[in-house]
Every structure is written in C-alpha cells, then in structure tokens.
Amino acid sequence: MVEPEDPPLHLDYRMQIRTGFGIDVHRLASGYNLVVGGVKIESPFGAVGHSDADVLLHAICDALLGAANLRDIGFHFSDKDPKYKGIDSKILLTGVLNLLKEKGYHVVNVDSTVVLEKPKLNPHVPAMCEVIAKILEVDIDAISVKATTHELVDSFGEGRAIKAYASCLIQK
C-alpha cells in the first residue's frame, strides 16, 4: 500500500485564487451628474472627476487590477489622457475585465460599500448589482453593494464627498 504524500507546507506564489482591494473618493459639487455603480441617480449635486466619476466602479476596477497585479486604474486610464474625459466608467470596468481575461482570470465575487450622506443609495442597489454583474459576466449573487453614511462626520458626512471601498476574489 502506498502512503499519500504530505501536502506542501508553503503556498505556491502563482496562486490561482487572489483577492484585491480598491478605494476611490470624489468631491461632490452642483452641476455634475451623480453616477454610482453605473446608475445615474437624481441629485442636485454629483461627483467631480475626469471621467463620469463613478466612485463605485473605480473602486471595483482598482480591486480587480490589484488582485491580478496589474497596477491601478490611473495607470491604465490616465486622467491626463483626453480620450478618457467624461468617459462612462462602465467602459473602464469592461477594459479591466479584458485585462483580467488576458491573464487567464475570471471574477468570483465583488463586495463593496459606498459612503454617501445623501441621497439614499439603497433604492438603487439592485440596479447597480445588475449593471456590475452584467459587465463582469457573473451571476448577480456574486455582486454585493452596500451603502452607508458617515453620520454627519467629516467631508463625507457633510455631503462634500463620496467614497467607495471594494474587495474582490478572482480565480484562474
């Protein structure tokens, strides 16, 4: 009878499963659209940025790029490049997915949180999840979007900024 071999005691540096984390912040001002998770939200103010300033999609892009060791969103889609001026961030997320595919990865899941005092985002969360799942070619159950406030503390709580955090799992 042959004894089974002991599993290796170290992890292979070429792991087939990777996690990533992303964060993004944008200032809020009147005269701009508020787009979060690919969904335009009625608001008297919006996020200021070179693109459409979709803080949630930008955080997800950075989480995915980080997981695949592909640097960050600014490296691939520079805010100094006029071709990205006003660009829909759904296009950027699609570009990130294509970069992952080139390295042989697919998305397993995304978990995210948006910090915004007002307007309330919870009514829009299902639509955001649908948009993100479609772009990333995953089941909607693989996308989690949560919304919270900063309890009237600092620039986020005072309604002067919006922030998003995202974590992800990718697999080869």
In a domain, 1, yes or no: no
pLDDT at residue 14 in the model: 60
Around Cβ 101, how many Cβ atoms within 10 Å? Answer: 13
Q: What is the mean pLDDT of residues 96-104?
A: 98
In a domain, 122, yes or no: yes
Q: State the pTM of this model.
A: 0.90
In a domain, 158, yes or no: yes
In a domain, 2, yes or no: no
In a domain, 11, yes or no: no
DSSP symbol at 98: H
In a domain, 10, yes or no: no
Q: What is the mean pLDDT of residues 138-147?
A: 98
pLDDT at residue 12 above 90? no
List the CATH number of the domain containing 86. Answer: 3.30.1330.50
In a domain, 112, yes or no: yes
Query: Which residues constitute the domain of residue 134?
Result: 17-171
Smallest CA-to-CA distance from 107 within 36, 166, 38, 37 is with 166
pLDDT band at 107 (very low <50, low <70, confident <90, very high): very high
Cα gap 149→23, rounded to integer Å: 16
In a domain, 9, yes or no: no
Could you report the per-residue pLDDT of 14-66, keeping only the tens digit for each?
659 999 999 999 999 999 999 999 999 999 999 999 999 999 999 999 999 99
In the three-class reduction of DSSP (H, G, I as helix; E, B as strand; rest coil), residue 22 is classed as strand
pLDDT at residue 156 in the model: 77
Cα gap 85→49, rounded to integer Å: 9
pLDDT at residue 158 in the model: 72
156 or 39, which is more confident: 39
Domain count, the chain: 1
Complete DSSP assignment for 30-55: ETS-EEETTEEE--SEEE-SSS---H
